[in-house]
């Protein structure tokens, strides 16, 4: 097992990783920017090193500084968390070249899943269902695109191969708009990712976002865990996640879970990852993408399975054998996570950084808080606006919703705008309470009525 882990991240996830390390008796090194000296992760870690100025590109993305910090502190592994360097193949490669274990999959796995065209192609070969479409990149001046779109059937969606998470996507409803949409998508993709390649898929209307946690060890063993339903999103930002999905039957869970497991097996995946599917109205599911990192919403899976995913991730990276057997994992209840952001939901979610005055975070039966903020803490304007995750566990969905409502009522955050009131609105919504909403829920039921 590792003796000392450097955490190349900040915020709640850095704190979460430090706690997992402590449970494994591993020493921890925090890195931080100049404005993050008073951050919780710096206080929680055994050791802290400043790696640069406030802007992420000069600190949390500054590879030479982070590697130097690992060498100076004598760390033997680096945990990247999510965001920042978590899915950067170059960083994974540099870590390994410097004799530092990257706590994540191989750079080959990151690469294969980072390119969406190659990811989809690989899935097709492995027998995992994919959406009908172009099978590779499309070009605006290729006359065949019209026949292709017609055969697929409108609407179609144009996606960037280097994209993911909803970035750079365009829905095309008719032939007239096709060529222009491809040109626009290519231009955007080139500007955002440095790669102009785009591909075409049939657009699945009112989909549900269902994802499966997978795990793999370096001996070729893989497992899947029960799904997370992340259909409540706004502009590709997840706001609420839950597990299990209200839509799932044991048979469909097994079918989708096995497909997710075969995705992991196909790329000899090591550590933890997530296979994302969309599920249509008829119960057909399609592979979307794979996230090769620990995700923000991992706690809902932890709550319903009793498995500490960050601990598992570290153990798998250290070369331990996977001991989880999918079929033996029991679903212990229901969990919901609400992401509390320092944003103003009444003014188009503009960020609301600043100093937190009075702060009270809830507790009591079934409530877990993953957060890095405290009374007197100043949220800097440079990073993402997630300030706390409230996770409510109950014996069934209704109990977890009721506990979430109780928790939301208890929250007090003075000094900054936040999204608590929006979550209360969602929890009280009749359609949400019935369960099984699609990704159209937020725009349709919360913002336009």
Determine which residue in the list 28, 62, 371, 439 makes contact with ligand MV4, applying CB under 6 A.
Answer: 439
Select 83 or 366, whichever has its Cβ closest to ligand MV4. 83
Q: Which stretch binds ligand MV4 (CB under 6 A): 49-57, 196-204, 312-320, 338-346?
A: 196-204
Shortest spacing between CB 211 and ligand MV4, in angstroms? 9
User: Is residue 278 involved in binding ligand MV4 (CB under 6 A)?
Assistant: yes
Q: Which stretch binds ligand MV4 (CB under 6 A): 8-16, 40-48, 195-203, 249-257?
A: 195-203
User: Is residue 236 involved in binding ligand MV4 (CB under 6 A)?
Assistant: yes
Shortest spacing between CB 230 and ligand MV4, in angstroms? 7
Interface pattern 138-167 for ligand MV4 (x via CB under 6 A): -------------------x-------xx-
| CB atoms inside a 10 Å sphere around CB 282 | 6
User: Is residue 203 involved in binding ligand MV4 (CB under 6 A)?
Assistant: yes
263: nearest Cα among 125, 162, 136, 160? 125
User: Is residue 131 involved in binding ligand MV4 (CB under 6 A)?
Assistant: yes
Find the Cα–Cα–Cα–Cα dihedral 326, 289, 6, 106, rounded to 10°. Answer: 80
Instruction: Report cis status (omega within 30 of 0) of the bond before 244.
Output: yes
**Ramachandran quadrant class, 435 (left: phi over 0; alpha: psi -120 to 50; beta: rest):** left
User: Is residue 41 involved in binding ligand MV4 (CB under 6 A)?
Assistant: no
Select 170 or 417, whichever has its Cβ closest to ligand MV4. 170
- Terminal-to-terminal C-alpha distance of the chain: 54
Q: Which stretch binds ligand MV4 (CB under 6 A): 22-30, 69-77, 203-211, 246-254?
A: 203-211
Residue length of the chain: 449
Residues ≥6 apart with Cβ < 8 Å to 323: none
Select 6 or 131, whichever has its Cβ closest to ligand MV4. 131
Q: How many residues bind ligand MV4 (CB under 6 A)?
A: 17
33 with 50: CB under 8 angstroms?
A: yes
Determine which residue in the list 16, 32, 170, 209 makes contact with ligand MV4, applying CB under 6 A.
Answer: 209
Residues ≥6 apart with Cβ < 8 Å to 143: none
Shortest spacing between CB 338 and ligand MV4, in angstroms? 17
User: Is residue 239 involved in binding ligand MV4 (CB under 6 A)?
Assistant: no
Select 166 or 333, whichever has its Cβ closest to ligand MV4. 166
Give me the DSSP letters along 205-255. Answer: SS-EEEEEEEEE-TTS-EEE---EEEEEEETTEEEEEEES-TT--HHHHHH
User: Is residue 241 involved in binding ligand MV4 (CB under 6 A)?
Assistant: no
User: Is residue 289 involved in binding ligand MV4 (CB under 6 A)?
Assistant: yes
Shortest spacing between CB 286 and ligand MV4, in angstroms? 7
229: nearest Cα among 242, 212, 240, 238? 242
Shortest spacing between CB 238 and ligand MV4, in angstroms? 8
Select 91 or 203, whichever has its Cβ closest to ligand MV4. 203
Shortest spacing between CB 298 and ligand MV4, in angstroms? 17
Respond yes or no: is residue 253 known to be catalytic: no
245 with 230: CB under 8 angstroms?
A: no
Q: Which residues of 208-228 are buried (b: 16+ CB within 10 A; e: fewer)?
A: bbbbbbbbbbbeebbbbbbbb
Select 236 or 355, whichever has its Cβ closest to ligand MV4. 236
Q: Which stretch binds ligand MV4 (CB under 6 A): 43-51, 173-181, 200-208, 302-310?
A: 200-208
User: Is residue 288 involved in binding ligand MV4 (CB under 6 A)?
Assistant: yes
Q: How far apart are CA 212 and CA 255, in angstroms?
A: 11
User: Is residue 443 involved in binding ligand MV4 (CB under 6 A)?
Assistant: no
User: Is residue 119 involved in binding ligand MV4 (CB under 6 A)?
Assistant: no
Q: Which stretch binds ligand MV4 (CB under 6 A): 204-212, 336-344, 353-361, 395-403?
A: 204-212
Instruction: Report cis status (omega within 30 of 0) of the bond before 369.
Output: no
Q: Which residues of 72-106 are buried (b: 16+ CB within 10 A; e: fewer)?
A: ebebbbbbbbbbbbbbbbebbebbeeeebbbbbbb
Q: Which of residues 342-401 bind ligand MV4 (CB under 6 A)?
A: none
| Beta-bridge partners for 278 | 209, 286
Which listed residue (293, 339, 368, 403) is catalytic? 293
User: Is residue 276 involved in binding ligand MV4 (CB under 6 A)?
Assistant: yes
Residues that bind ligand MV4 (CB under 6 A): 131, 157, 165-166, 201-204, 207, 209, 233, 236, 276, 278, 288-289, 439
Residues labelled as active-site residues? 293
């Amino acid at each position: 097992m590792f003796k000392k882990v450097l955490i190349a991240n900040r915020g709640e996830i850095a704190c979460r990783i430090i706690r997992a390390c402590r449970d494994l008796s591993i020493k921890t090194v925090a890195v931080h920017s100049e404005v993050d000296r008073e951050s919780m992760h710096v206080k929680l870690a055994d050791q802290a090193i400043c790696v640069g100025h406030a802007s992420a590109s000069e600190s949390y993305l500054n590879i030479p500084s982070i590697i130097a910090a690992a060498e100076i502190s004598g760390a033997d592994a680096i945990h990247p968390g999510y965001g920042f360097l978590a899915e950067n193949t170059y960083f994974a490669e540099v870590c390994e070249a410097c004799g530092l274990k990257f706590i994540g999959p191989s750079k080959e796995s990151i690469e294969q899943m980072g390119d969406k065209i190659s990811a989809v192609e690989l899935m097709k070969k492995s027998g995992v269902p994919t959406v009908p479409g172009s099978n590779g990149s499309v070009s605006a001046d290729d006359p065949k695109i019209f026949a292709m779109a017609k055969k697929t059937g409108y609407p179609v969606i144009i996606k960037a191969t280097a994209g993911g998470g909803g970035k750079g996507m365009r829905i095309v409803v008719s032939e007239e708009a096709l060529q222009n949409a491809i040109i626009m998508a290519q231009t955007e993709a080139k500007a955002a990712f440095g790669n102009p390649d785009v591909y075409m898929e049939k657009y699945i209307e009112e989909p549900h976002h269902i994802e499966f946690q997978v795990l793999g060890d370096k001996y070729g063993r893989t497992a899947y865990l029960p799904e997370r339903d992340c259909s409540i999103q706004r502009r590709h930002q997840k706001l609420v996640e839950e597990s299990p999905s209200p839509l799932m039957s044991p048979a469909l869970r097994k079918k989708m879970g096995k497909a997710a497991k075969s995705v992991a097996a196909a790329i000899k995946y090591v550590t933890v990852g997530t296979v994302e599917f969309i599920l249509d109205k008829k119960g057909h599911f399609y592979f979307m993408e794979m996230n090769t990192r620990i995700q923000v919403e991992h706690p809902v899976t932890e709550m319903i399975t009793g498995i500490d995913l960050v601990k598992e991730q570290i153990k798998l990276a250290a070369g331990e054998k996977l001991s989880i057997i999918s079929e033996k994992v029991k679903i212990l209840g229901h969990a919901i996570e609400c992401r509390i952001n320092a944003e103003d939901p009444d003014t188009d979610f503009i960020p609301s950084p600043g100093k937190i005055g009075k702060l009270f975070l809830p507790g009591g039966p079934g409530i877990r808080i993953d957060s890095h903020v405290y009374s007197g803490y100043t949220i800097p304007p440079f990073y993402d606006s997630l300030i706390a995750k409230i996770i409510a566990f109950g014996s069934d969905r209704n109990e977890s919703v009721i506990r979430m409502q109780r928790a939301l009522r208890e929250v007090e955050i003075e000094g900054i705008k936040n999204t608590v009131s929006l979550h209360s609105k969602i929890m009280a919504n009749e359609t949400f309470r019935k369960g099984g909403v699609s990704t159209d829920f937020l725009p349709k039921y919360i913002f336009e009525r």
